[in-house]
Structure 1
Amino acid sequence: MDSTFTLLDLGWQAYFQQQLSLEDLESNRIARVCSKNGNQYEIVSEFGFSTLDGHSAIPMMTVGDWVVTDMEHQFIRRLEPSSVFENIASNIDTVFLMCALNEDFNLALIKRYLEITHEAQADAVVILTKADVCDDISEKRAQVEKLDPLLIVETVNALDADSLRCLSPLLKKGKTIALLGAIGSGKSALINTLMKTTGDGKQQINIGESGVLKIMPSGAILLDTEDMRELQLAQLESNLASSFADILALEKECRFSDCRHEGEPGCAIKAAVKAKRLDEQRVADFLLVHNNDNDDDSVTKSKPQEKFYRSAQSDARARKHSSVD
């Protein structure tokens, strides 16, 4: 494993340079957190790898953070991050939001991914995969582009290197990227194709033993942690509970506990739409996520789902009391 990197190799940007003092430039060192294990952080600099043991003087940090240390690798301070996925990762420049163009295409999920990424202050690019098996690419792409006129949307076959050439401008040296997408969206296929040896013989380089930061053949840095892969479920549940709390509360009034709100008798949600108490498009967005979650088990909810529903009900009650006050 190559242990010699420049700061640019590791993702250094002008934004961080502006935070350095004269003393930092003359007497201190700059390093990036490349893995975290409990309260211990592995950091990497131009001088190689070292570890920081968490204590009261060290703030909670995540993979991707930049830190200033002294010559003995002792922590001095953390630099202000450019983007933050709380307690998961930081300083990600661009997030590829992955969605397949087959029957798994889900506009509501893409909206949620955009919300997550914008909240983190990172740039979002939507990658629509499995273009080789889709007959209505233009229609689906147009739906995504309507979400934001400035949003970059690419349609690709993640298994075909030529198809991924459109991503080259986004994979410049020193840029840190991450991926978000549901199972089956093509994340692994995309990573594997992008990581293949290029014509000039360059290969991926793991930064540290954990390999959660990888330098791609293009020079871009892939940040791929277990927490980042699991982020989608936790964040989507949180966003859904916040965005659709009133619909989730109304769902409890349906005649059948396993109602999918697709025309069953006694459906309180459909009745509210008919009475124009709920917006039809908003309910459609809710159902895209709701029924996808329940496809795996339409009767018994998992513990995360139970927690999600309890949170939604509490939110609905809080809104109701607030309106009364």
Structure 2
Amino acid sequence: MNAPSLIDLGLRPFFQQQLSLEELETCSLGRIIEHHKSEVVILGDAGILRYHIPPNFDPICVGDWLLFNNDRLVRVLERQSLFQRKAAGSARERQLIAANLDTVFIVSSLNDDFSLNRIERYLALAKETGVEPVIILTKADLCSEAESIRQQVQQLDSLLSVYCVNSLDNEDISLLKGYCQRGKTVAFMGSSGVGKSTLVNGLLGQNEMETGGIREQDSKGRHTTTYRAIKWLPEGGLLMDTPGMRELQLSDAKEGIKLTFADIESLAEQCRFSDCQHQNEPGCAVLNAIETGELSTRRLENFQKLLREEAHNSATLAQKRAKDRAFSKMVNSVQDQARSAKKY
């Protein structure tokens, strides 16, 4: 295709309104299409450019819009949406995953790796950011119970779009192309080995992404995507492939969790006590729904688990932010004292 315009890249009034007249005259605007450890690849009117990320620059990720000039990155524009998670392990850090998405394809394979709990976790993240989630269940050609499993996922939310696909079947791939129109950005998210790269190749119409098999003994896959990057789609949209995530820790996602489990939230409003914990309290509408079969024990337990995890991670990150602010304040105070001493 011809060199893309900023509109092709997803530019819209939300981003344009953030630019001053001076910035429009002195800077260029582009979007991050690749993010490596110490540098980014930016695509804009001037084509593809590489920039080293300067020390102390605001955290950035694939999908961000950046202002830059000939010498340096200037600033990152406010995001319309941001996927982030608590960094894997015990680190008190956030990891930015992707910015300014329109749709997220949540991919799960129809093998032993399938998990409603994991899908709910991804849904909570999507709903927190306000991005449209679409569930894609892969390896449908290898599963005799694909439709039954699809209905299980559909029961999580009657308005949710859920597809069972064979990633090597062009007809199945065509079902997803409506989400990939000009100026729209879609991303694939899911565990390793669920078939994301095969789906990417299908939408691209060529074998651009390396694919890998799964271990038969446990249906686990290997990472075939090692960094986040945006690819062009024949329909004119932008597709972001992300590495498989072995761990997706939620933080600052309480609203997303509540939206994902809106049925439980609605039931909880009918409980006799406003502070009901849904354990053994009398008049608990949630426990009554479990007894009648309206609600599964699995779903309630996962809801409670995600709320506990989110509260713990959010508190941990808040403590780190407070500690960082106190340290910065101390450094600034010492520097001010040093400058004052030099005057005398």
Asked if Structure 1 and Structure 2 have the same fold, meaning a TM-score greater than 0.5 normalized by the shorter chain, the answer is: yes
| Partner-residue secondary structure (3-state), 1:143 | helix
Q: How is 1:44-55 mapped onto 2 (pairs within 5 angstroms)?
A: 44-48=43-47, 49-55=49-55
Taking the aligned partners of 1:77 and 1:237, their CA distance within structure 2 comes to 25
Q: Please give the TM-score of this superposition, normalised by the length of structure 2.
A: 0.60
TM-superposition CA deviations, 1:50-101 (whole Å, max 9, x none)? 4143134x3121121101224x253332111111123222112211011223
- Is 1:163 the counterpart of 2:161? The answer is no
Q: Give the C-alpha shift of residue 138 in structure 1.
A: 3.7
Call closer, same or farther: CA 1:237–1:25 in 2, change over 3 Å.
Answer: closer
Call closer, same or farther: CA 1:14–1:282 in 2, change over 3 Å.
Answer: same
- Indicate the residue corresponding to 1:221 in structure 2: 238
- Indicate the residue corresponding to 1:323 in structure 2: none
Return the letter of the residue paired with 1:45: G
- Is 1:284 the counterpart of 2:261? The answer is no
Q: Please give the TM-score of this superposition, normalised by the length of structure 1.
A: 0.63
TM-superposition CA deviations, 1:255-305 (whole Å, max 9, x none)? xxxxxxxxxxxxxxxxx99xxx996766535999xxxxxxxxxxxxxxxxx
- Indicate the residue corresponding to 1:112 in structure 2: 121
- Is 1:92 the counterpart of 2:101? The answer is yes
Call closer, same or farther: CA 1:183–1:76 in 2, change over 3 Å.
Answer: closer
- Preserved contact between residue 189 and residue 242 of structure 2 (Cα < 8 Å): no
Taking the aligned partners of 1:91 and 1:138, their CA distance within structure 2 comes to 32
| Partner-residue secondary structure (3-state), 1:234 | coil
- Preserved contact between residue 116 and residue 235 of structure 1 (Cα < 8 Å): no
- Preserved contact between residue 32 and residue 65 of structure 1 (Cα < 8 Å): yes
- Preserved contact between residue 204 and residue 214 of structure 1 (Cα < 8 Å): no
Taking the aligned partners of 2:125 and 2:102, their CA distance within structure 1 comes to 14
Call closer, same or farther: CA 1:84–1:211 in 2, change over 3 Å.
Answer: closer
Taking the aligned partners of 1:204 and 1:220, their CA distance within structure 2 comes to 16
Taking the aligned partners of 1:211 and 1:108, their CA distance within structure 2 comes to 25
% identical equivalent positions: 35
- Indicate the residue corresponding to 1:7 in structure 2: 6
Structure 1 unaligned regions, length at least 5:
198-202, 244-271, 289-307, 319-325
Return the letter of the residue paired with 2:194: S
TM-superposition CA deviations, 1:118-143 (whole Å, max 9, x none)? 22332210112223344444432222
- Preserved contact between residue 64 and residue 76 of structure 2 (Cα < 8 Å): yes
- Preserved contact between residue 65 and residue 79 of structure 1 (Cα < 8 Å): yes
Q: How is 1:1-325 mapped onto 2 (pairs within 5 angstroms)?
A: 4-48=3-47, 49-56=49-56, 58-70=57-69, 72-86=70-84, 87-197=96-206, 212-226=229-243, 229-230=244-245, 233-235=247-249, 284-285=298-299
TM-superposition CA deviations, 1:23-58 (whole Å, max 9, x none)? 3444431111233333433322211214143134x3
Taking the aligned partners of 1:183 and 1:69, their CA distance within structure 2 comes to 35
- Preserved contact between residue 201 and residue 208 of structure 2 (Cα < 8 Å): no
Taking the aligned partners of 1:136 and 1:50, their CA distance within structure 2 comes to 47
Call closer, same or farther: CA 1:59–1:101 in 2, change over 3 Å.
Answer: same
Taking the aligned partners of 2:109 and 2:40, their CA distance within structure 1 comes to 36
| Partner-residue secondary structure (3-state), 1:88 | strand
Structure 2 unaligned regions, length at least 5:
85-95, 210-226, 258-278, 316-344
Call closer, same or farther: CA 1:143–1:25 in 2, change over 3 Å.
Answer: same
May I ask how many residue pairs the two structures share in their alignment?
254
Q: Give the C-alpha shift of residue 175 in structure 1.
A: 1.6
CA-based RMSD: 4.1
| Partner-residue secondary structure (3-state), 1:128 | strand
Call closer, same or farther: CA 1:53–1:164 in 2, change over 3 Å.
Answer: closer
